[in-house]
Structure 1
Amino acid sequence: MTDSTLIVNDIRCEYRDNPIGIDEQRPRFSWKLAGDGRNIMQSAYHIKVHEECSGAHVWDSGKRMSDASVLVEYDGEALKPQTVYIVGIKIWDNAGRESEWTASTFETGLLRPAERWTAEWISGDDGTDEASCDYLRTTFRVQSAVRRARLYATACGMYEMYLNGTRVGDSYFTPGWTNYKKRIQYQTYDVTALLRQGGNGLGGVVGDGWYRGELGWKDQKDFYGEQRALSALLHIWYEDGTEGVVSTDGSWSRSKGPIRTSSIYHGEVYDARLELGDWSDPDYEAEGWLPVWPVEAQNDRLVAQVNEPVRKTGELSPVSLIETPEGDQVLDFGQNMVGWVRLRVSGAKAGNVITLHHAEVLDREGNFYTDNLRSAKQENRYICKGGVEEVFEPHFTFQGFRYVRVTGYPGDIELSQFTAIVLHSDMEQAGMFECSDPMLNQLQSNIIWGQKGNFVDVPTDCPQRDERLGWTGDAQVFIRTAAYNMNVAPFFAKWLQDLSSEQLPHGGVPFVIPNVLGVDQHSSAAWGDAATVCPWTIYQMYGDKRMLAQQYGSMKAWVGYIRAQGDTEALWNTGFHFGDWLGLDAKEGSYIGATPQDLIATAFYAYSTELLVKSAEVLGYEEDAAEYRALYETIVQAFRDEFVTVNGRLAGPFQTAYVLALQFGLLEEEHRPRAIRELVKLIEDNKGCMTTGFVGTPYLCLALSDNGRSDWAYNLVLNKQYPSWLYSIEQGATTIWEHWDGIKPDGTFWSKDMNSYNHYAYGSVGEWLFRKAAGIDGDPEAPGFKRIVIAPELDARLTYVKASYASPYGEIRSQWRLEEDGQLTVNVTIPMNTTASILLPGAQPDSVLPEWQAQQASGGMQLEIGSGSYSWTYAYPIKESTGEGEVLAAQ
């Protein structure tokens, strides 16, 4: 008998809610449990899948005794292309309750697009006006009632589709940036509601985008091809059971239009005087339109989109209008962000040119500053048609900015006429962090905004200058923080497929993915290790074993590449490395920190090999696991022989060296206490500040906390002096900077050549905020937070910390509050179908009721719990930081 107090909700297929265009033959389903009571575990599930149209059943799992509720693989008949399926799920719990059925849907895409893509590839790009975007159109008729219609579209370039005068979908920058030489994504759109009885018009606009626009700082263009192209397939299913297809072919016509130029780096020029009217309506008089050009088909490269597309995710109004000392009129939106500005103007004359120029900061005199953009213009120009209210938004570009200089605007500038549109890959928010320190809350906000601005289809290093590339090192150091903040599994699924496709025959990994720097730019330690770190992190955060399996060949190839590099099999002491990039202990004139590069390279060699061993064990590759376990042990011993003295001192007094040795487990256990003492001393000797760069910083606070020195992790996180995370906030930062001193105390700049103010790598400290300050972590042996670890690290300088994380099983919450009288309250919420280990910090045996059967543990009392919400209050021995250590104040 069913029980209404036990509910199945939030059914997902391949991480998505009721998705369309799924090209997985064996898609995976996830769901969450809801209901009354504590300690609830699923004991069994039952899944049924049937076709929506015919009602034909394709899978009935029967009642399966299992607690699996995340990424459960379809195991039925072969799925049909372009078909809607209904998924029904019910579950039983450990209290004997049975849920009602809950239903969801998913729809397959073409499944084998290379075989089923019947549309031709066409172009309006004849080479005579390369800068202008192409407008392409056709007409067709709908003769009877439509049951369902889907548009499948892709391009060489960026495209937007229009049907009967309406823009199709809410995605931007499609088809997305991939390794176009091997992979071009197609998108699926539900256009049923846009069709009309009788005549219809279908069209597309195509711009250069990443395909043939400027990429990198080498002034290179046409990297993937010299001709823009569009290919689209409109499939209509009628109520009477018949079907119809409209596709791009030689009957389409082409024209140029108002988008005169469109460049990711330089912006867009839009001439409203050249607008084409209702050009995608069926009754449009296409006078002067010309036949399209045929283009070689790219069908063998087509893949369905797996990640969430870029969408508009928010709007910001300007907070002020500034007149600079140089006389510019500048809008301040109060937040460094990525997207564009929507402009409204009335009363303009035809031919008036309004220019919007974008920047991140003002200089110390308060003037508009763009030197750090290098060659990127970040400039949108709108040429008015006059006589009416006009509204402009760009199409195939984006800007990184807080400030916008406005020139040519007719009349007085009114703030209400300008709106900043936030654009990024539309990942669901997963985490929330808040504490009693407003500056730490601002730090978390800066991390979030940095992730938004740099997760624009690929994980870019910066979103404003002439770069915006998918640097592998930045991605791997930030990925765990990214996953705490947002659901990034589909985002990295797409990007890692490109990484595999770009990997060189010998296993080397390019510095950037997609790779536009050339085949000779590859394989730095800590950068190429994205091949191992990212798949393993996704497995840990989401329990995604399939992604681990798909990337295993890439992981193995990367370790194989390193294995062939060094003077010996166990050391990596050759080749170019970025080292501890931007480390503050670098020599004058160098960007590379002082930690020896071969030490860093060998440390990451060990780390990647360890992750490969763990992956082989998870996937059941026993021979590989044994082989690489032996290799790992050899590397660790070689590291000790080469870089560690017999008494445990590392080769060179460098913070990053000790951080990596501690965090990657490269030291003998007897040497760890000395290593943490040496690390703390190095920090103390540097006036309580870090010297670490891109390699050491992400692990610094974790290494301190994991080795009993959370006091020093807090000292670093709460420090407001340069160099520190809060220093930039003191200078007004609203995103993470590339350099600790991007703006110096006197208002001058670190440099103009490489000085991004939205560069998320140092935001990797967000992982420490969630895992240590709030204490939300997962058990590595039960990935995807099937088993949860709550172990907050406290500091008396904060009175409370609260955080939540939307795990695959449901929301995890952790909150602690420390009162002035020394009473500590710890609140946690554990989702159904999971268990948790809780460490109550500072608790004594008499602090916890006997019913909890708590065990004494290092740092407090440990207890095991199941799902539900819990609260404990007890006396806590306050540790008051002195900035140089800690003093125990008994309560």
Structure 2
Amino acid sequence: MSTVVTPPRLEHGDSQAGNVASARPRLSWRTTTDQDGWHQLAAEISLTGPDGHGQVVAVDGDASVLVDWPFEDLNPRQRGEVRVRVRDDAGWSDWSAATSFTAAFLGEGEWAAEFIGLPEPQHQGHPFLARLEFEVRDGLSRATWYATAHGTYQASFNGTDVDDQILKPGWTPYEFRLVHETTDVTSLLSPGKNAVALSVTGGWYTENFGFQGHAGPVYGEQPTVAGQLLLEYADGSTEWLVTGGHWRVTGESPWVAAGIYLGEDYDARLEQPGWDRAGFDDSGWGDAQLGSAGVLPGARTSPEVRVTQLLEVAEVLTSPSGKLVLDFGQNLVGRLRIRVSGEAGSTVTLRHAEVLENGELGVRPLRSARATDNFTLAGSGTEEYAPTFTFHGFRFAEITGWPGEFDPGAVTAEVIHSDMRRTGWFDSSHELLNRLHENVVWGMRGNFLYLPTDCPQRDERMGWTGDIQIFGPTASFLYDCDGFLASWLEDVWHEQQAAGGGVAFVVPDVLRSGDVPAAAWGDVATVLPTVLHERFGDLGVVERQYPSMKAWTDLLLGLAGDRYLWEGGFQFGDWVDPDSPPENPAKAKTDPDIVASAFLYRSTDLLSRAAELLGDHEDADHYSALAEKVRQAWLAEYTTPAGRIVSDAQTAYALAIEFGIAEGELAAVLGRRLAELARRDGYRISTGFVGTPLVNDALTRTGHVEPAARMLLQTECPSWLYSVGMGATTVWERWDSLLPDGSINPGEMTSFNHYALGSVADWMHRVVAGLAPAEPGYKKVRIAPTPLPGLHHARARHEGPYGTIEAGWRREGSTVTVEATVPPNSTAVVELPDRAPFEVGSGTHIWQFEAPGTDSPATPITLLTTLADIIDDAEAHAELLAAWDRVDPVLGADFRARTRWIQSQTLSAAFSIVSPVVADKVMGQLEDFNASREA
């Protein structure tokens, strides 16, 4: 038998630099073995210092995920290596390979840097350069650089950038929380004169936020930067160099202008060779202006943002107006890197857009975002440029001003996002479904850039709380995003405290919306910590966020009062319901009070469960009782004795079923009605942001697998696959962001990279493929595949906290073969339709069961056939719609839009407002089909 332990991972560590942000980082490790049913009985953790001395601590039991730090607290800049070995019935494994780390946090009182900026900036967000020359003595043993900014910056020592991170330090609520980078720069220094140089722009700090023509800076109008360098010598002496008024600065830099929405204007003629090295004459520069002191910065706990992939030009196009347009074949977030030569002063302009409209860049959805980069050449031969202080969401780029003959090999798209580890995959027999899943992945990549944003291209790019509340489970499967989202939740709590317990629409709260509670948006405070615990086994985030969870829930309970219902006030409701008009995305079929009170129950229930997890039984009992009162009030107010909900819409039923508001027979009744509504609507999606993550779960939970399959595989608008059929490579904000004729939705708000509606992927992983957590962190896996009609196979793979988990199925005739892989030190509960649930240990497992087809009798279509019978016969339904398209596509589209596919109506009744001539033609188109059915 072979048992191998992976190098341990330190909580929220930087995989490239090995930095850890906490004095007590939790540890996780995985074990690989060829022994089935393997369990860890104990572990030993070794900590070794640079001097080779160390200690070993024993950990009894099977804990191997987010294990508490068993040693003394780390000191600032402490280095070390950790190893792990494990014991099973056969004895001890070998020691794992070592994981090296450096404690990246500062000690108490060590932060001394002052924020510096330009003394006389000429315009808002004026970019500037700063520099300092300093001496390094012989015997330098280590140099550590710490820096942050009110804005964005890059640092270099002696002409070499300190790292490959982009737009540091990212975006946090600057008045409450700042992040500092920690970088070992020893290799960049040498004895004698050295220079540190900073390039600084406004970034998010000076950006204009807001809508309706009233956007403006929220934090400040000018950027500032702060940094400090610690020099440690072999003789034990140390020296701190910090930013202050003695640093030299200039506003004459090649970055003429830069902004998140603006793009970047870079004039290479203004470069000052040698400015970032020792010996440069900076007599024409001035002394730095001291800025206001910021809050004490803390070490980064979220992943860095960097270039993660390169894409070449897929196609070179010429627009109808004669413009050069590049298609990269994928909607992405990042920047262009160009290699160009030309005369000094010539300018290459790069414009970005996600789609084309009538062959030209579709820039209207960008609103006021210029999203344009201008590079002015120095005329020094082949020059290379990529913007440093902005990013764009685009698939297409228009290039003007290119000198000479254009070579597509001279342009590369660089994909940029927070550098998280990919952990989740899905595959099926359906090509469009697989592309949908890839669109979800690309949408997450583009919108996880320092914080979970709503869109990456227009004048917004904000941390909308509702979007990530919806998408959190999907995100947690696709990427190791625990540290990313836990860091952002800290910002949620900071903003929440400033707002008296309310959760803002966006975090950071540049809209100043924290005093306007909104269901599904504010409920991120309770939902997301629950998701991180469920998916990563991270109880620590629940503990840290518990005050936030409680403050939000108490606020809502106060609003609900003695009725225990959250009624009135502003609500987003079931945002972008497909029936909502372009100018009013909140106008949904489901009443916003129904949505709000359902989330009141959801948050109160989750808070009770969190209290129980943390051992606060008093709170657990208190909020459990309140949740039950809310549940009963919801049922009494919004359901009828016959089992209808007063908003007879898919989202209302999905909320009741999936939140556990309806139980037992009532849940079954509501599930039947939900299935009827799905069929009535032609199996086209009928939900907005709130209902979309829930509707297919609610259908399959109540036994309606075929309606769920029909909705998932629907290609007509609105549906998940409609956008795929229209060529989408990311998920859209609206079901019809691009209309069937190829024009852009006329609404003021539309984005082609918006992950919320891609939240169905979580259901694809858990239910279709059948891979779900049965216990936090997948300590116990749930294997429960659902072979969907229309699919021949489906499979999901997840790199979970304990190792690789796989689940999937394949259909051959009436036999379904299920295969699953359970990682060591975990188990699985298996649920198959032909037997009672059972448990298995780690290893690879195969089972089979019989799943005979459920095909209904193949009968002809007549005028007396009910509409329900037609749509339940997928072949007949498709043939009827095809007949309409052959007769008159415009009338066919109208027929699709207005027809209610119900049992009580015949095809004759549906034709009652159709010209008899047209009806006869349609029926005539069905003659061959009917003849084949009668044969």
The residue correspondences of 1:580-595 to structure 2 (distance < 5 A) are 580-586=574-580, 590-592=584-586, 593-595=588-590
Contact 1:567–1:574 (Cα < 8 Å) also in 2: no
Q: Which residue of 2 aligns with 1:713?
A: 708
Contact 2:657–2:663 (Cα < 8 Å) also in 1: no
1:297 Cα deviation (Å)? 2.5
Q: Which residue of 1 aligns with 2:9?
A: 12
Letter in 2 for 1:352: S
1:806 maps onto 2:806 in alignment:
no
Q: Which residue of 1 aligns with 2:200?
A: 206
SS, match of residue 42 in structure 1:
coil
The residue correspondences of 1:183-202 to structure 2 (distance < 5 A) are 183-202=177-196
Comparing 226-235 and 416-425, the one that deviates more:
226-235
Instruction: Normalising by structure 1, report the TM-score.
Output: 0.93
Instruction: Normalising by structure 2, report the TM-score.
Output: 0.89
Comparing 631-640 and 167-176, the one that deviates more:
167-176
Q: Which residue of 2 aligns with 1:661?
A: 656
SS, match of residue 794 in structure 2:
strand
1:729 maps onto 2:724 in alignment:
yes
1:698 Cα deviation (Å)? 1.2
Comparing 217-226 and 178-187, the one that deviates more:
217-226
Q: Which residue of 2 aligns with 1:571?
A: 565
1:277 maps onto 2:270 in alignment:
no
Contact 1:374–1:752 (Cα < 8 Å) also in 2: no
What is the distance in 1 between the residues matched to 2:435 and 2:144? 43
Contact 1:86–1:105 (Cα < 8 Å) also in 2: yes
Listed one character per residue, the Cα deviations across residues 744-764 of structure 1 (whole Å, up to 9, x for unaligned) are 112222225111111110010
What is the distance in 2 between the residues matched to 1:197 and 1:886? 81
Q: Which residue of 2 aligns with 1:647?
A: 642
Correspondent of 2:153 among 151, 159, 162: 159
Q: Which residue of 2 aligns with 1:831?
A: 823
1:863 maps onto 2:838 in alignment:
yes
1:451 maps onto 2:444 in alignment:
yes
Contact 1:353–1:408 (Cα < 8 Å) also in 2: yes
Letter in 2 for 1:805: H
1:657 Cα deviation (Å)? 0.5
What is the distance in 1 between the residues matched to 2:233 and 2:705? 65
Contact 2:11–2:25 (Cα < 8 Å) also in 1: yes
1:386 Cα deviation (Å)? 1.0
1:709 Cα deviation (Å)? 1.4
1:872 Cα deviation (Å)? 3.2
What is the distance in 2 between the residues matched to 1:649 and 1:47? 58
Correspondent of 2:547 among 539, 549, 553: 553
Comparing 281-290 and 168-177, the one that deviates more:
281-290
Q: Which residue of 2 aligns with 1:295?
A: 291
Letter in 1 for 2:258: S
Q: Which residue of 1 aligns with 2:30?
A: 32
1:182 maps onto 2:171 in alignment:
no
**Number of matched pairs:** 857
Q: Which residue of 2 aligns with 1:47?
A: 45
Contact 2:116–2:290 (Cα < 8 Å) also in 1: yes
What is the distance in 2 between the residues matched to 1:787 and 1:207? 48
What is the distance in 1 between the residues matched to 2:737 and 2:367? 15
What is the distance in 2 between the residues matched to 1:652 and 1:470? 30
Q: Which residue of 1 aligns with 2:531?
A: 537
What is the distance in 2 between the residues matched to 1:868 and 1:302? 46
Letter in 1 for 2:4: I
After superposition, the Cα gap between the structure-2 partners of 1:193 and 1:745, relative to the gap in structure 1 and judged at 3 Å, is: same
1:230 maps onto 2:225 in alignment:
yes
Q: Which residue of 1 aligns with 2:690?
A: 695
The residue correspondences of 1:425-824 to structure 2 (distance < 5 A) are 425-503=418-496, 504-519=498-513, 522-566=516-560, 568-586=562-580, 590-592=584-586, 593-779=588-774, 782-819=775-812, 821-824=813-816
Contact 1:24–1:111 (Cα < 8 Å) also in 2: no
Q: Which residue of 1 aligns with 2:259?
A: 263
Letter in 2 for 1:661: A
The residue correspondences of 1:88-99 to structure 2 (distance < 5 A) are 88-99=83-94
Listed one character per residue, the Cα deviations across residues 806-838 of structure 1 (whole Å, up to 9, x for unaligned) are 11111101132222x334332211111101112
After superposition, the Cα gap between the structure-2 partners of 1:157 and 1:465, relative to the gap in structure 1 and judged at 3 Å, is: same
What is the distance in 1 between the residues matched to 2:727 and 2:582? 28
Contact 1:335–1:402 (Cα < 8 Å) also in 2: yes
1:126 Cα deviation (Å)? 2.4
Letter in 2 for 1:303: G
Q: Which residue of 1 aligns with 2:885?
A: none
Letter in 1 for 2:508: P
Letter in 2 for 1:380: D
What is the distance in 2 between the residues matched to 1:118 and 1:686? 64
Q: Which residue of 2 aligns with 1:355?
A: 349
1:501 Cα deviation (Å)? 0.2
1:399 Cα deviation (Å)? 0.6
SS, match of residue 193 in structure 1:
helix
What is the distance in 1 between the residues matched to 2:309 and 2:417? 10
1:371 maps onto 2:364 in alignment:
yes
Q: What are the ranges of 5 or more consecutive residues in structure 1 without an aligned counterpart? A: 845-855
Q: What are the ranges of 5 or more consecutive residues in structure 2 without an aligned counterpart? A: 857-868, 875-935
Q: Which residue of 1 aligns with 2:933?
A: none
1:242 Cα deviation (Å)? 3.3
1:569 Cα deviation (Å)? 4.9
Q: Which residue of 1 aligns with 2:336?
A: 341
Q: Which residue of 2 aligns with 1:410?
A: 403
What is the distance in 2 between the residues matched to 1:668 and 1:6? 46
Listed one character per residue, the Cα deviations across residues 345-371 of structure 1 (whole Å, up to 9, x for unaligned) are 12x1111111111011111x2122211
What is the distance in 2 between the residues matched to 1:885 and 1:475? 35
Q: Which residue of 2 aligns with 1:852?
A: none
1:278 Cα deviation (Å)? 2.5
SS, match of residue 652 in structure 1:
coil
1:797 Cα deviation (Å)? 1.8
What is the distance in 1 between the residues matched to 2:198 and 2:855? 64
Q: Which residue of 1 aligns with 2:311?
A: 316
Comparing 96-105 and 379-388, the one that deviates more:
96-105
Q: Which residue of 1 aligns with 2:930?
A: none
Q: Which residue of 1 aligns with 2:121?
A: 127
What is the distance in 1 between the residues matched to 2:572 and 2:36? 50
1:566 Cα deviation (Å)? 2.5
Letter in 1 for 2:634: F
Listed one character per residue, the Cα deviations across residues 637-665 of structure 1 (whole Å, up to 9, x for unaligned) are 00111011223221121111101011111
Letter in 1 for 2:430: D
1:422 maps onto 2:415 in alignment:
yes
What is the distance in 1 between the residues matched to 2:311 and 2:747? 28
SS, match of residue 697 in structure 1:
coil
Comparing 518-527 and 150-159, the one that deviates more:
518-527
Listed one character per residue, the Cα deviations across residues 63-87 of structure 1 (whole Å, up to 9, x for unaligned) are 3321000111113323211211322
Listed one character per residue, the Cα deviations across residues 235-282 of structure 1 (whole Å, up to 9, x for unaligned) are 233344433332222322112210000010010100110011122111
Comparing 877-886 and 420-429, the one that deviates more:
877-886
SS, match of residue 629 in structure 2:
helix
After superposition, the Cα gap between the structure-2 partners of 1:376 and 1:129, relative to the gap in structure 1 and judged at 3 Å, is: closer
What is the distance in 2 between the residues matched to 1:665 and 1:338? 38
1:413 Cα deviation (Å)? 1.8
Listed one character per residue, the Cα deviations across residues 545-573 of structure 1 (whole Å, up to 9, x for unaligned) are 11100000000000001011135351101
Correspondent of 2:383 among 384, 387, 390: 390
Letter in 1 for 2:42: A
After superposition, the Cα gap between the structure-2 partners of 1:236 and 1:644, relative to the gap in structure 1 and judged at 3 Å, is: same
What is the distance in 2 between the residues matched to 1:213 and 1:302? 21
Comparing 525-534 and 288-297, the one that deviates more:
288-297
Letter in 2 for 1:673: A
**Which has more strand, going by share of residues?**
1
